[in-house]
Amino acid sequence: MNFEYSEKSLELQQRLSAFIEEHIVPIEKEYIAFQSDTNNMWQRFPKIEMLKKKAKGKMPLKSYALLHGELSEEDEKIFLNWVQTLR
């Protein structure tokens, strides 16, 4: 069996890592502080929508990728796991 990642999967991983380093890591402490404040218990972190918009511009959209045959089954699983982190 071949347990190596496909080229597309590796590219997706690289793009995801770059996105995290560029956009998520810089606001991580702010996010933790927001979530730690009991006044924000049922509130959504204000920068989530901004991050979603940035992610859509930098990561392939599932529907486009699937329609154009760009994602293998393994790549789709990786992509869907990433999308879940944005919700």
Domain of residue 21 covers: 7-84
In a domain, residue 65? The reply is yes
In a domain, residue 24? The reply is yes
In a domain, residue 1? The reply is no
User: Is the pLDDT confidence value at 30 over 60?
Assistant: yes
Distances in Å between the alpha carbon of 44 and those of 34, 62, 76, 86? Answer: 9, 24, 27, 12
- Tokens for 39, please give them: 């006044």
In a domain, residue 32? The reply is yes
Residue 1 CA to residue 3 CA, distance in Å, equals: 6
Q: Tens digits of per-residue pLDDT, 40-71? A: 988 989 998 888 788 776 665 554 454 445 55
In a domain, residue 75? The reply is yes
Q: Is residue 76 within a helix (H) or strand (E), and if so which, with residue range?
A: helix 73-84
Q: Tens digits of per-residue pLDDT, 7-29? A: 888 888 888 888 889 988 999 99
Q: What is the pLDDT of residue 79?
A: 67
- Tokens for 58, please give them: 């930098």
Residue 23 CA to residue 26 CA, distance in Å, equals: 6
How many separate domains does the chain show? 1
